[in-house]
Every structure is written in structure tokens, then in C-alpha cells.
Amino acid sequence: MAETTPNHTQTVSGWAAFDTTGEIKPFTFKRRENGVDDVTVEIMYCGMCHTDLHCARNEWGNSMYPLVPGHEITGIITKVGSNVREFKVGDGAGIGFMAASCLECELCESNQENYCDKLQPTSNGVFWDGSITYGGYSKMIVADKRFVVRIPENLPLDSAAPLLCAGITVFSPMKDNNMLQSPGKKMGVVGLGGLGHMAVKFAKAFGLHVTVISTSPSKEKEAKERLGADSFVVSTDIKQMKMARKSLDFIIDTVSANHSLGGVLELLKLNGTLVIVGAPDKPFELPAFPLVFGKRAVKGTIIGGMKETQEMMDLCGKHNITSDVEVIKPHEINQAMTRLANNDVRYRFVIDIAERSSSL
């Protein structure tokens, strides 16, 4: 493994963490030349995911410093390789969590490369050539065409950036569980943050009845009036939780804090499904009775494959779905990281990498 190879000749400015303090500082590094299957993207915006925070601080124990975070990348294509037919110079493009996979296994061949055993992330991974991957907190990036999506022209690049992680993370289980073709079905969303608010938006776009489940009563007005949720349940209110028992067909749990799943499971109807997309650092408390007496299922998912991500992006263009974002400048990254750790954002920080005054 090496930070670069002899083919890494392009000097790039970016921002990186250098140790477990997670402090982000300016960093100059090298990227590879644009290959025959590559596209080069001038980065305009990059969303800030909780994963960026975990990796910057080495909270998962696998960080390789210096570490350039960022996997919610939008920008403009400036160069395409000779084998690239899907994109052209000037296209708006998005790059998400994946930088590489084996491309040969059953999962890759069935458009589920996000579950490939050899999946490598856009940040803090190891690319095919053995170099460490540096993410979107930088001015430009070179990516294999198979891990790039086209951004619809009507979507602003700043508020489209979080779709590449937060958006696809909730879209994928909704599609997998037939929620996109089930208008009138009742869906619950646990947690109203970066992922949760996108789940509400998708659910409303596809005609679902949406209940937000939160520990914060103060979020009810925002959930209903701003995002269009139909119902709101305070999960710490025993009376409200009891009244909502067996009322939901499907629930997405987006919460990364430690919490019990027992009360949430009780909200599901017979044969209901709870999908976990958050990742608490301790095991879940999962009581057996709500499962066995309700024929309920608990599943977990991550992001979607590239085909599914492009499908989601196209549907977002059709329905004009974007993330609610707070745009910051690069010099504000550390302040935003602190706020992110305290869940003080509505609902996603996006870095204005190009430092332009208006959305593209």
C-alpha cells in the first residue's frame, strides 16, 4: 500500500485530518492521471457525513493518516477517458461512497457492488493500484466511470450532494421493500436527521403515510409543517407509543445512538419490517417477543449499488427532491465537525469547495 504511485502526477489542494484529534487542516497531495476509463471532476460541493467525523477521529480503528474525508461529491466533469461514453466534459457528476470493487463477483455482476467483499471507499480506502483513496474535501478528483453518476440538470449541486449517501441509504431499503410502488402504505421514520429527513421526503413523494418517531418533541412542528409528515410520535412518551402500536407497515431506523428496538417493533403491523440504516457503536437490545408474536422482521442495509444510485438521482430530478443543507466554506469545516458531533445541523452540512457564492 502506498499513498501514491508514479502515475499520481496531478497536484491537488484539499483538507485532511492528520491524527486522532480529527482536526482538519489544509493538505496538498497527488492524484492519478485520468485513465482510459476515468473521468476527472472539478469538485464544487461535498457533503459532510457522520462517517467523515468517525474516520477523521479514528473512532472505528481503521483510519490511515493523512485522511481526506468526503464521499458526497458533486462537480463538473473536466476530462473523460477514451473508453468513456456515458459522460462528457461539462456534465454535472456525482461521486459517492464507492471508489472500487472487484467487478467480477456475483454481487458486482448483479449491480450490488456495494456489498462486494473487495469494496473500497472513496476516502480512506485502497484503490486497485494500491494507492490510498483521498475523498471529496479537495478541489478535484479522478474516478472510474463505473462509480460516477450523472446529476440531473435541474438539481442544484449543493443540495444534491447528500443524495449520494444520505439519500441512497434510505432510498435503497424503500425500494427493496416495495415502498416506492405502495401509495397509501404507512411508513415510520426513526430519527429526523440527515437520513431521516430524506426518508420523509421520499416517502411523501411516493404517496406514503409517514410517521416520524423521535425522542425530541420539539421536532414535531418541523416534521409536519416543513417536511410534510402525517404523524409524529415521541418515543419516550409511553401513551403515544401505545396508541401507535401495530399501525405501521414498514419502518426505517436512522438513529446511530444506542437505543432499544423493542418499542419500535411494537409499532409494526403483522409481517412488518424494520430496517436499520444507522450504526450505533454498541449492540442493539432486541427483545424476542415483539418479533415472534408479530411475524416481524429486522434487516439492515447500507448504500445502494451504482445502477440504483443513478435511478434514485433520476427520480430526484423528476420529483425535484433534494436535501435540506447548510452550506459552509472550507475554513468552517472544523466548526461544522463540532456541530455535527452534537447533531446541530438541519439537515446536512455541505462544503462549498469551489467557494462560489451561489448554487450551480
Q: Express each pLDDT in 91-132 by its tens digit.
A: 999 999 999 999 999 999 999 999 999 999 999 999 999 999
Average pLDDT taken over every residue of the chain:
95
Give the CA distances from residue 191 to residues 54, 213, 282, 335, in Å, rounded to whole numbers and listed in that order.
Answer: 19, 6, 18, 23
* Residue where the block lists cell 472510474: 144
Residue 262 has pLDDT above 80, yes or no: yes
Residue 358 has pLDDT above 50, yes or no: no
Q: Are strands 325-328 and 348-352 parallel, antiparallel or unpaired?
A: parallel
The stretch 329-357 carries a mean pLDDT of: 93
Q: Are 305 and 171 in contact (CB under 8 A)?
A: no
The stretch 187-209 carries a mean pLDDT of: 97
The pLDDT score that the predictor gives to residue 292 is: 94
Helix locations, 102-143, DSSP H: 106-109
- Determine the Cα–Cα distance for residues 91 and 73; give it in Å rounded to an integer: 14
The fraction of the chain above a pLDDT of 70, given in percent, is 98
The pLDDT score that the predictor gives to residue 244 is: 97
The stretch 178-203 carries a mean pLDDT of: 96
Q: Are 297 and 261 in contact (CB under 8 A)?
A: no
Residue 4 has pLDDT above 80, yes or no: no
Q: At what angle do helices 194-205 and 166-176 cross, to 10 degrees?
A: 50
Residue 360 has pLDDT above 80, yes or no: no
Q: Are 275 and 191 in contact (CB under 8 A)?
A: no
Question: pLDDT: is 260 or 166 the higher one?
Answer: 166
pLDDT band for position 148 (cuts 50, 70, 90): very high
The pLDDT score that the predictor gives to residue 68 is: 98
Residue 236 has pLDDT above 60, yes or no: yes
Q: DSSP secondary-structure letter at 219?
A: G
β-strand partners of 32: 8
Which pTM does this prediction carry? 0.94
The pLDDT score that the predictor gives to residue 1 is: 55
Residue 274 has pLDDT above 70, yes or no: yes
The pLDDT score that the predictor gives to residue 356 is: 75
Q: Are strands 231-234 and 209-214 parallel, antiparallel or unpaired?
A: parallel
Q: Are 204 and 228 in contact (CB under 8 A)?
A: yes
pLDDT band for position 2 (cuts 50, 70, 90): low
Q: Are strands 24-32 and 8-17 parallel, antiparallel or unpaired?
A: antiparallel
Residue 339 has pLDDT above 90, yes or no: yes
What is the tens place of the pLDDT at every residue in 19-59?
Answer: 999 999 999 999 999 999 999 999 999 999 999 999 999 99
The stretch 158-163 carries a mean pLDDT of: 98
Residue 252 has pLDDT above 50, yes or no: yes
| Closest to 158 measured CA to CA, from 332, 10, 329 | 329
The pLDDT score that the predictor gives to residue 359 is: 46
